[in-house]
Amino acid sequence: MSLGLACLDCHSTADQQAAAGIPSVRKCMLCHEKLAVDKPGVQKVRDYSARGVEIPWQRVYGFSPEALVHFRHAPHYQAKIDCATCHGDVGKGTVAVLAVKHTMGTCLNCHRQYKASEDCASCHY
Ligand code: HEC
Ligand code: HEC
Ligand code: HEC
Ligand code: HEC
Ligand code: HEC
């Protein structure tokens, strides 16, 4: 979704909280009450909203609970690391796909470059 919408318009907690947040269908309706109502995709969105149901998005990013990882967006936002560094060019599609596979190696590679924490406890519970 290009359209000049900023990532933070929808993922409005990525700058402050751990999770970037998936927007509620109510947020979509701020625009789609009026905008592009003839598009089939938008009709689906409006249908969920009319039924008072959230859109059942598939999560694409995340770690298995056993890995006991706690990732937080906020320190990365503060360090001015672009969303695209970790998620690829999300703006190009309408449905999110896994563009970048995050492993302990990718985290640590960058942490070494930036002299960020390599302490086990900063990433694991
Ligand atoms: C700030 C306004 C705004 C918000 C919020 C917004 N959209 Fe949109 N959306 C647009 C605009 C503008 C278009 C493009 C309309 C056009 O191409 O005529 C669009 C287009 C779409 C389309 C049609 C794409 C196509 O070309 O068929 C879908 C589907 C869609 N939005 C889904 C969503 C969903 C889901 C949300 C909530 C997560 C959302 N939108 C939130 C402004 C918004
Ligand atoms: C119009 C609202 C909207 C905008 C603007 C938007 N997103 Fe999203 N994003 C969503 C919704 C809704 C989902 C969940 C749907 C999905 O997974 O396809 C999502 C999913 C994602 C995911 C996958 C999350 C997961 O684990 O499933 C990432 C990563 C993401 N967005 C990053 C971005 C980035 C980076 C930008 C800016 C380039 C951006 N988004 C702009 C609404 C938006
Ligand atoms: C340093 C790498 C990194 C950067 C930079 C980053 N993300 Fe993420 N993002 C991740 C990881 C890793 C996850 C999975 C986290 C988890 O499951 O605990 C994730 C998950 C997400 C999700 C899924 C929902 C959620 O809240 O967990 C969304 C949406 C998302 N990111 C959007 C963004 C946006 C928007 C930006 C830019 C403001 C951004 N990300 C910047 C690594 C990053
Ligand atoms: C592209 C570079 C990059 C990637 C990839 C990256 N990080 Fe970071 N991370 C940083 C930077 C830069 C900081 C901020 C360091 C500072 O403020 O001193 C940071 C900070 C953190 C912090 C806060 C550390 C503290 O001491 O408070 C945690 C936790 C963290 N990252 C976890 C992760 C995890 C987990 C991953 C992999 C999923 C990851 N990071 C991937 C660059 C990155
Ligand atoms: C910068 C963040 C970061 C640091 C520092 C870090 N890890 Fe990890 N670690 C991760 C991530 C992210 C995963 C999950 C990778 C995946 O799901 O592929 C992981 C996975 C693991 C796993 C595998 C868990 C499983 O069951 O899948 C072990 C074991 C582990 N880490 C141990 C450590 C130890 C020991 C240290 C300290 C020497 C450490 N980690 C430091 C981010 C980090």
Q: Residues 32-77: pLDDT tens digits?
A: 999 999 999 999 999 999 999 999 888 778 888 888 898 889 999 9
Ligand 3 centroid, distance to 20 Cα (angstroms): 6
For ligand 1, which residues put their CB under 6 angstroms from it? 3, 5, 9-10, 23, 27-28, 30-32, 35-36, 39, 41-42, 45, 94
> What 3-state class would DSSP assign to 69?
strand
Q: pTM for the whole thing?
A: 0.86
Give the residue, out of 73, 104, 114, with the most ligand 5 atoms within 8 A of its beta carbon, to mutate for a pocket test.
Answer: 104
Helices 40-51 and 25-32 cross at an angle (nearest 10°) of: 120
